Structure 1
Amino acid sequence: MRSIFAALPLALAAPAMAQDAQVTVGPDAFLEGYYASIKDSVAMPTAPVGAPLPSNVATITRIAFGSCNHQSRSQHMWDQIAATNPDMFLFIGDNIYGDQTWSGDAALTTLREAYAKQASHPEFIQFRSTIPMMVSWDDHDFGFNDGGGNFAFRGFAEDIYETFWDSSEEVKARPGIYESKVFGNAGRRVQLIMLDTRFFRADFERMPFREERPPLGPYVPSQDAGKTMLGQAQWAWLEQELAKPADLRILVSSIQVLTDAHDYESWEQLPLERAKLYKMLGARADSGLVILSGDRHAGGIYTDTPLAAGEQLWELTSSSLNLAFNSTERNTAREPDPRRITDFISEENFGLVEIDWDAEQLTLSLRGAAGEVRVTETIGWAPPVSDAPPIMGEPATSGSR
């Protein structure tokens, strides 16, 4: 614990009594005072100037996205993404790795240094200047591996994020970094919903100790109704967003939603919250829907028909941009998954969503390090639900791949 408060005045290490011995001052108040005292002395990096978002009436037909980008590794993927000529790019989490050498200081020095390093790359500078971006975060740019709402320095991590990405006034005005935008006129309206699965999230429950490390993650699903993924305010906001008129909704979650095939971070670990999400998605105003996710250092296309949603859902996971850990053949065999309808692409990749407004179809694909198509699937606008929906985990597929 000592290192966590290494950069703080000694008084910050524990709650203390005010001088009049009447008011107890907790750690949050001490942290506010600490951050106020250092605000003029610490560097707060900013991203390269970005291309403006399309106008709210612009027709969007091609959206690229990606996750898991290490600031100290090759930045070659930016040219490959730009070559697909996307209308927008969604940077959906682990956009830098600022926690790997973190010493526990409250000033989050390594997080700020990682952002500054990313901002210095010519490839990223060029990409930012030409391709509009929307951004979310995951744990490594939130500041703490697998971190959530109990991360003591999350408020300052949010300040760093919002300063770097020049977040909208709407985002800056509330805790968390969730955001939504609608583009296009009636008949061609796409809504982009960027969730925050970090700032409010309850801790996941860990498996009991055992000598051998679990091969596919340390967590177990919790039935604790008090645990939250999004927090009360974000849940209320999401319900309002899903009631807005749109023809297609793209829901971004930094961690995977549909799969039950592993015990790493995913919505599976909070099944009551996932059922709540499914029910809310099923009750949305009439529209098509696709889910995008990252985090896994591998990617694929998933589908399932959860009873709570009442319809077939599709998810495209893309990860990573420059931090691949394994081979596709080995990873696919290591993690069998009846909900994943493709190989588990483990080499560097980015995702692409292509919208055919006339045919009311989406083409979902993962592109490799040379821009090549690794997997693809074309789906109908709102895929029909059969009279006898498949058992959860046994999806019906459509299109080509």
Structure 2
Amino acid sequence: MRFPLLLAVASAAALAPLSAHPEVDLSAEDMLAPYYAKLERQIDLPVAPPGAALAEDTVLTRIGVGSCNHQNRSQHMWAQIAAADPQLFLFIGDNNYGDNGWAGDAALGSLRAAYAKQAETPELATFRKAVPMMAVWDDHDYGFNDAGASFSPRRWSETIFETFWGSGEEVRSRPGVYSSRLVGEEGRRVQVILLDTRFFRSDLEEMPYQRPRPPLGPYVPSSDPDKTMLGEAQWRWLEAELAKPADFRIVASSIQILTDAHDYESWENLPLERAKLYRLLAAREESGLVLLSGDRHAGGIYTDTPDEAGGEQLWELTSSSLNLAFNDTASNTAREPDPKRLTDFISEENFGLIDIDWEARTFTVALRGNQGEERASRTVKW
């Protein structure tokens, strides 16, 4: 992965340790650390509007989910989501497009400006007063399109994210922004797990240049065992989280998990890592399970029964985007046939809902459009 050259504005603070100790081999990330420490002391980072709290004993029966929200476009979807009355909303990536217009400056000026715009968005402020939120990032609010661990300003981007969303001490104490939460009472306890598929992810392998450009992405799967999606520490954390008692689990990945139908970013890019994820899910403490994803600027409901999952049928709801639709549903569905997708590939603005029926032990995943209308749904027994 190649990124625009970080401007020399950081050089005086960052290069001093290297000049004093020329024998030390420092990474660009290490060299930038003193600059960011100084910058954090000098400026006030944007902070999200105050948010509603979620009580630990809340019995969750409706959770909302969405992704791909451009800070400069209409924010009308917040009212539609609020009207659906979710008890919790999961904002699972591309929560803004702070990479748009990035000039390569080490201070990530365009990213900070995107967060500052969100901080002053009245629709978001109104929504947050009413609905508790949990958030994780994808590439555009991480700082660069398709970026992973080789994105040199990632620690500064993490500081910006954690400051804006008010991340808890556990998240702030470690690299990356992954998090989890257990909510509810015994017998009706939900665990929400938000994975960080950016901070630790190895660079992806690209297909050789060809013309015309492939219509469904530039990447090819890699079976390199040294490549990682989550990084060693996050993998250990996830295994421990899945061992906790819960009755229903929601596992959110900013990028799609089950599909093999395209060559954009997805877990298919790193098949060994996806197989590892399936094995961990199969070994979890017994519970219901649904997977969530975003990223694609289109939504759908997916299912698969991977061998590594021990025969379990897995379900995934992809919800994208809130205000940045690219195509119409008919052409997008035809463009990307997928035997694992049970619905149209819904390309107009949408958000997702997960409804839990504790008595029937079922969950329903649904996509709703920009007028709150239902576009697709499936009900699953667990």
TM-score by length of 1: 0.92
Q: Partner of 2:203 in structure 1?
A: 203
Q: CA deviation at 1:24?
A: 5.0
Q: Partner of 1:336 in structure 2?
A: 337
Q: Partner of 1:18 in structure 2?
A: 20
Q: Partner of 1:170 in structure 2?
A: 170
Write out per-residue CA displacement over residues 332-362 of structure 1, whole angstroms, 9 at most, x where no aligned residue.
0000000000000000000000000000001
| Partner Cα distance (2:333, 2:12) in 1 | 50
Q: Indicate how the Cα distance of structure 1 residues 283 and 77 shifts in structure 2: closer, same or farther if over 3 A, else same.
A: same
Q: CA deviation at 1:252?
A: 0.3
Write out per-residue CA displacement over residues 290-333 of structure 1, whole angstroms, 9 at most, x where no aligned residue.
00000000000000000000210000000000000000000000
| Partner Cα distance (1:277, 1:339) in 2 | 18
Query: Aligned with 1:4: secondary structure?
Result: coil
Q: Partner of 1:46 in structure 2?
A: 47
User: Does 1:116 pair with 2:107?
Assistant: no
Query: Aligned with 2:340: secondary structure?
Result: coil
Equivalent runs, 1:154-233 vs 2, <5 Å: 154-233=154-233
Q: CA deviation at 1:26?
A: 4.6
Write out per-residue CA displacement over residues 148-185 of structure 1, whole angstroms, 9 at most, x where no aligned residue.
01100000000000000000110000000111101111
Query: Aligned with 1:350: secondary structure?
Result: strand
Equivalent runs, 1:263-274 vs 2, <5 Å: 263-274=263-274
| Partner Cα distance (2:57, 2:129) in 1 | 21
Q: Work out the percentage of aligned pairs sharing the same amino acid.
A: 64
Q: Partner of 2:9 in structure 1?
A: 7
Q: Which runs of 5+ in 1 are unaligned?
A: 382-401
Q: Indicate how the Cα distance of structure 1 residues 375 and 24 shifts in structure 2: closer, same or farther if over 3 A, else same.
A: closer
| Partner Cα distance (1:42, 1:291) in 2 | 38
Runs of 4+ in 1 over 6 A off after TM superposition: none
Instruction: State the AA in 1 paired with 2:72.
Output: S
Write out per-residue CA displacement over residues 249-308 of structure 1, whole angstroms, 9 at most, x where no aligned residue.
000000000000000000000000000000110011111100000000000000000000
Q: Partner of 1:358 in structure 2?
A: 359
Write out per-residue CA displacement over residues 118-154 of structure 1, whole angstroms, 9 at most, x where no aligned residue.
1111111100111000001000000111000110000
The CA RMSD measured in Å over matched residues stands at 1.5
User: Does 1:98 pair with 2:98?
Assistant: yes
| Partner Cα distance (1:27, 1:208) in 2 | 28
Instruction: State the AA in 2 paired with 1:287.
Output: S
| Partner Cα distance (2:259, 2:26) in 1 | 43
Judge conservation of contact 1:14–1:27 (CA < 8 Å) in 2.
no
Write out per-residue CA displacement over residues 21-58 of structure 1, whole angstroms, 9 at most, x where no aligned residue.
565555333211111222233341000000012x2221
Q: Partner of 1:315 in structure 2?
A: 316
| Partner Cα distance (1:14, 1:314) in 2 | 52
Q: Partner of 1:395 in structure 2?
A: none
Q: CA deviation at 1:224?
A: 0.2
Instruction: State the AA in 2 paired with 1:344.
Output: F
Query: Aligned with 2:275: secondary structure?
Result: helix
Q: Indicate how the Cα distance of structure 1 residues 64 and 2 shifts in structure 2: closer, same or farther if over 3 A, else same.
A: closer
User: Does 1:75 pair with 2:84?
Assistant: no
Instruction: State the AA in 1 paired with 2:49.
Output: P
Instruction: State the AA in 2 paired with 1:340.
Output: R
Write out per-residue CA displacement over residues 218-274 of structure 1, whole angstroms, 9 at most, x where no aligned residue.
000001000000000000000000000011000000000000000000000000000
Judge conservation of contact 1:6–1:104 (CA < 8 Å) in 2.
no
Equivalent runs, 1:220-259 vs 2, <5 Å: 220-259=220-259
